[in-house]
Amino acid sequence: MTAKILKKKAKGLKSEINRFQGSIDHLYQKEKFTLHYLNLFSQLKVKPAHEYGIQIEDIDVFAKVMNEFYHLGYDANEILHEYCKAHPYQYKTCY
């Protein structure tokens, strides 16, 4: 093989490596995102009950609502805190 052919192959391999690295980076970001949401959803039922005394029976509906608030830029903890303030006799552990 000539040097010209080897350089061409090397350039192609570098391009392929870069493409694979981009795919790996993308998958890594998706994995981080997934793990973040798994942790968030695993805490959705526990945290309100533990910190605010709010029992959540239908976690799916609650999760969807809180996710919508999150995507609109609201803080879930602040929402729960305000909810508890609105119901002080029912949720005394909110403060």
Sorting pLDDT into bands at 50, 70 and 90, what band is 63? confident
Alpha helices in the chain (DSSP H): 3-47, 59-71, 76-86
Cα–Cα dist 81/64, whole Å: 18
- Whether residue 84 contacts residue 94, with contact meaning beta carbons closer than 8 Å, is answered with yes
Give me the pLDDT at residue 89, please: 63
- Whether residue 52 contacts residue 84, with contact meaning beta carbons closer than 8 Å, is answered with yes
Give me the pLDDT at residue 30, please: 92
For residues 61-83, average pLDDT: 82
pTM of the model as a whole: 0.43
| Neighbouring residues of 55: CB distance < 8 A, sequence distance ≥ 6 | 48, 49
Q: pLDDT tens, 10-19?
A: 899 999 999 9
Using DSSP's 3-state secondary structure scheme, residue 59 falls into helix
